[in-house]
């Protein structure tokens, strides 16, 4: 084998390894994990637009934030129920949400939570009220610590009758008329109930 052929072979091998490395790195960057979402939130470092809204900022600023929100949403929508629960427990999404303008909140809820909520609501709402009550009680117990307790407290503060209405009417009837803020707080509660409904959490005796 002459030197030219050897050099071409080495160069080709280098190209192949570069492509393999690039694909592997790209796949790693795209992998959906709670940690990835947290990293994206930290990197975005959103300013608080919750009070004044987005009207006081330029079109370019609004579009840049929307692009980042969409990127977060793409990763978030790939998480399963358990991964979302881990993310909810950390409180990163709630902290992000409270920095968004009203328009951004509506967009983010529609993009990342409605689809997930539909799956949980379908399973829960097919039950009779007695069964719903048992699962709601278990969901409430699962949210008694940390950020879950804070979310539940906010829900009860906004609507003291929420648990009763969810048991009587189901999640869907309540969710459809809720504000963006309530929907954001409602999903971790639905997820806690959904884990039991869908078998992700081991039901206690009697459930």
Residues 96-123: tens digit of each pLDDT: 988 999 889 888 888 887 666 777 778 7
Half-sphere exposure of 134 (CA within 13 A, CB side): 11
Distance from the Cα of residue 27 to its chain's centroid: 21
Task: Give the pLDDT band of residue 10 (cuts 50, 70, 90).
Answer: very low
> Per 3-state DSSP, what percentage of the chain is helix, strand, and coil (rounded to 5)?
75, 0, 25
How does the average pLDDT of the chain come out, rounded? 76
State pTM to two decimals. Answer: 0.58
Q: How far apart are CA 107 and CA 24, in angstroms?
A: 32
pLDDT of 48 reads 93
Range of the domain at 146: 3-197
Per the domain annotation, does 207 fall within a domain? Answer: no
Per the domain annotation, does 189 fall within a domain? Answer: yes
Buried b (16+ CB within 10 A) or exposed e, 46-55: eeebeeeebe
Per the domain annotation, does 22 fall within a domain? Answer: yes
Q: How far apart are CA 175 and CA 122, in angstroms?
A: 12
Per the domain annotation, does 60 fall within a domain? Answer: yes
Total number of domains in the chain: 1
Per the domain annotation, does 19 fall within a domain? Answer: yes
The first and second tokens of residue 165, run together, are 């209405």
C-alpha torsion 122→123→124→130, nearest 10 = 130
Per the domain annotation, does 203 fall within a domain? Answer: no
């Amino acid at each position: 084998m002459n030197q030219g052929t050897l050099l071409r072979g080495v160069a080709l091998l280098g190209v192949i390894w570069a492509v393999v490395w690039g694909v592997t790195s790209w796949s790693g960057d795209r992998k959906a994990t709670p940690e990835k979402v947290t990293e994206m939130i930290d990197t975005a470092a959103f300013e608080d637009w919750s009070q004044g809204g987005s009207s006081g900022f330029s079109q370019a600023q609004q579009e840049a934030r929307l692009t980042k929100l969409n990127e977060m949403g793409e990763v978030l929508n790939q998480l399963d129920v358990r991964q979302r629960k881990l993310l909810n427990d950390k409180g990163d999404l709630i902290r992000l949400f409270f920095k968004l303008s009203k328009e951004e909140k509506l967009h983010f809820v529609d993009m990342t939570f409605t689809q997930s909520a539909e799956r949980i609501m379908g399973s829960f709402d097919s039950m009779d009220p007695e069964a719903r009550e048992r699962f709601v009680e278990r969901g409430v117990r699962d949210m008694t610590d940390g950020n879950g307790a804070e979310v539940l407290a906010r829900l009860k503060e906004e609507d003291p009758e929420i648990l009763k209405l969810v048991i009587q009417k189901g999640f869907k009837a309540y969710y459809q008329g809720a504000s963006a803020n309530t929907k954001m707080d409602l999903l971790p509660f639905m997820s806690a109930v959904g884990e039991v409904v869908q078998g992700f959490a081991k039901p206690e005796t009697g459930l």
